[in-house]
Amino acid sequence: MSGVGERIQALRTGKGLTQRDLAEPNYTAAYVSSVENGHRVPSSDALAHFAARLHVDVTQLTTGRHPGDALSIEIDLLEEVQPQLWYEQLATDPTALDTRRAAAEVVLGRRRLAAGAPDDAVGHFERARRLVPPTLAHLRTPAVAGLALCARLQGDPGYAAYLLTGFRDELHRAGLPDPASVLAVHALLALCQHDLGEDAAPAASTALALAGPGAAAVSAFVATARTLAASSHLPEARAALAAAGAAVLESWLADEIAGAFRIRARARLAAGDLAGALADLTAARQRSTGPAALDALVDLAEVHRALGDPTTARALLSAADPAIAPDADALITPGTGAHGGTAGGDGDADSDLEGNRRDRTGGGGSTAEVRRARAHRVHALLSQDAGDLEAAERHLRAAIAIHHGTGPRRELAQLSLDLADLLTAMRRPDDALAVLADGLTAVDTHAG
């Protein structure tokens, strides 16, 4: 009995069909019997007839391999559920498709990033980028996004922006405006531009115009792809798989997309669009359960303060950082002045890349310390609103102390101006001048 005949017989009996059922209307039961017994080799027309009657692909009859088997590898690459060794072997398998090897390298890079090792992740992302041919530039997006994330975590948002703008132009030249790629590139670019003190709102808006359901859709798309592949509906399965890939990329960049929402929210807040800012910050909070969600709480507190709701604002600040006392008692260690010590702090912010995981989201490398400084600033605004200028001063000094330790921050200059204005209002002009002088020195010190 031939291999083809064996497979036809197994599929026929498995579906409860007789030889006559399989044969009609084009062939006879005797012909089916001779094929199944290996006495005759079916023609291409006969194979197409049998495949249609059995609801399978011709390839499955001739080779015994289910046409959906190849897609199962793509699904495993997307779900990232296989053990480490599986991805390592696939990444180095010279017989595997280059695009699959690239996808495996991306998984390995993501895992190194999750482990807090961006230096190690760079190699994986770079190999992935090189494996994908220029004609499939949009498939390089996860690798380029990974390289940009690494550069930003390594303190070089300028290089990250260079990578992203170059890749954006490459996609444009290739005529590949893939929505998932455009979303990823512009969300990351917005954060880098914000880090660099540039106008990030246009890039953020471009990204958010394409934001989809993200993580919520991944499992549904993957399940659909598996089902369609198993039933040999391959074009539909590939479409579902492509949608799953876009959702996975968006899910992986959830914090960065949340950061883009926060950037646009700040622009809307500055323009007086409180409803728009509130909507964006609510979306940012829902997008992330990590540090970006805490950042959004601080920004939401500022919006609620602008809406005249100090109670909600203080509650949000407490949720974002319970360690900050609303009355700002003992925030500054005696003798430290505007900059000294680590007021309200978690230690030296420069150590976050050395041992602690640095937040991936927005605005000047938004570490826990920077988030705390912003919370102090909103507390200061609330204290001013309530007429407690002494508490407002303590909160502003605490914020300045944190920014002074976390490196170049345009917020440092603005906070110095805010504190000087406050001290002037408190009829302390000499102290105001001292704050401005100290602030200028600090900004100059961190200018590089």
For the chain, how far is it from start to end, CA to CA, in angstroms?
Answer: 78
For residues 157 and 95, the model is more confident at 157
Go through 40-79 and write b for each residue having 16 or more CB atoms within 10 A of its CB, e for each that does not.
Answer: bebeeebbebbbebbebbeebbeeeebbbeebebbbbbbe
Residue 324 pLDDT exceeds 80: no
The predicted structure's pLDDT at residue 235: 83
221-261 pLDDT, tens digit per residue, is 888 988 887 777 878 888 988 898 999 999 999 999 999 99
The predicted structure's pLDDT at residue 60: 72
The predicted structure's pLDDT at residue 308: 96
Residue 403 pLDDT exceeds 70: yes
The predicted structure's pLDDT at residue 290: 78
Residues belonging to the chain: 448
Residue 399 pLDDT exceeds 60: yes
For residues 299 and 441, the model is more confident at 299
Residue 217 pLDDT exceeds 80: yes
**pLDDT-derived band of residue 447, with 50, 70 and 90 as boundaries?**
low
CA distances 254 to 50, 75, 108, 136, 284, Å, are 48, 21, 19, 24, 9
Cβ-based burial of 224 (10 A; exposed 0-12, middle 13-18, buried ≥19): middle
Q: Is the peptide bond preceding residue 25 cis, with omega within 30 degrees of 0?
A: yes
Percent of the chain with pLDDT over 90: 54
Q: What is the mean pLDDT of residues 293-301?
A: 93
312-321 pLDDT, tens digit per residue, is 999 999 999 8
Residue 402 pLDDT exceeds 60: yes
Running DSSP on this structure, what letter comes out for residue 357?
P
> Which residue in this structure is represented by tokens 């997008």?
287
Query: How far apart (Å, rounded) are the C-alpha atoms in residues 415 and 417?
Result: 5
Q: What is the mean pLDDT of residues 123-141?
A: 95
31-85 pLDDT, tens digit per residue, is 999 999 988 989 888 988 988 888 777 777 877 766 666 677 888 888 888 899 9
Percent of the chain with pLDDT over 70: 87
The predicted structure's pLDDT at residue 147: 98
The predicted structure's pLDDT at residue 347: 34
The predicted structure's pLDDT at residue 446: 61
Lowest mean pLDDT among 14-18, 27-31, 140-144, 340-344: 340-344
**pLDDT-derived band of residue 327, with 50, 70 and 90 as boundaries?**
low
Q: What is the mean pLDDT of the chain?
A: 85
> Which residue in this structure is represented by tokens 């990329």?
249
The predicted structure's pLDDT at residue 407: 58
Q: How many CB atoms lie within 10 A of CB 306?
A: 15
Helices (H) and strands (E) in the chain, counts: 23, 0
Q: What is the mean pLDDT of residues 351-380?
A: 61
